[in-house]
Amino acid sequence: MRIFPLFMVIFALSSCARPASASNTQKVARANVAERGRLRGVTIFSVWSPDLRKSFEWYRDKLGLQVHDDTEVQPGEPWVTLNVPDHPELVIAFKQGAARPGETLFGLETDDVHALYATLKAKGVVFRLPPTEFPYGTEADLEDLDGQVIAITQPASGM
């Protein structure tokens, strides 16, 4: 069974059709209400790893994610987070614990999956799926150091 990247789920949730028979004023009023009551994006998700520091450094050094926080919420409880460059609203929190190898952890979007694939391969990143065409775009699946899958996707034209 194919697991679609997270951005596809968000895209589906954000693609609500508006009624065609209403006047412009009614459409705007309905759109404003709809905008306030729907999901707008992802703000944070967690990556579980048995070696928190090693995982954090892998995502930073191999994938080029930026340090958001590297502190403790209380003594002995680390709070380490990264974000995608130019997207500080999307925070990836690293948690100490068992990883789930083989499961798709999350998806990241790029404007050139082939170039990013070549760059990451040169850094020693292991891929489960080379750039492959799908109806929603081109996807390449990589493994993090704990064997969890990350989908890197270039959306199809018009998406």
Please identify, among 46, 69, 98, the residue that sits at the C-terminal boundary of a domain: 98
Please identify, among 83, 98, 113, the residue that sits at the C-terminal boundary of a domain: 98
Please identify, among 57, 78, 98, the residue that sits at the C-terminal boundary of a domain: 98
pLDDT of residue 91: 86
Domain count, the chain: 2
- pLDDT of 132 strictly over 90: yes
17-71, pLDDT tens digit by residue?
A: 333 344 555 555 555 555 566 756 677 788 989 998 999 999 999 999 999 989 8
pLDDT of residue 25: 52
Q: Is residue 3 part of a domain?
A: no
* DSSP bridge pairs for 57: none
Strand order in the sheet with 77-84: 44-49, 87-96, 77-84, 66-74
CATH (domain of 131):
3.10.180.10
| Same domain as 94, residue 29 | yes
65-115, pLDDT tens digit by residue?
A: 999 989 887 888 888 899 988 888 888 888 888 888 888 788 889 999 999
Q: Greater confidence, 153 or 23? A: 153
pLDDT of residue 141: 94
| Same domain as 150, residue 119 | yes
The CA-atom distances, in angstroms, between 37 and each of 8, 14, 15, 31, 84 are: 19, 11, 13, 10, 26
Task: Kindly tell me the sign of the dihedral angle through the C-alpha atoms of 28, 33, 38, 41.
Answer: positive
What's the domain range around 33?
A: 22-98
CA atoms of 107 and 134, how far apart (whole Å)? 14
Q: Is residue 9 part of a domain?
A: no
CA atoms of 133 and 156, how far apart (whole Å)? 9
Mean pLDDT of 132-148: 93
| Same domain as 158, residue 131 | yes
Single pTM value for the model? 0.67
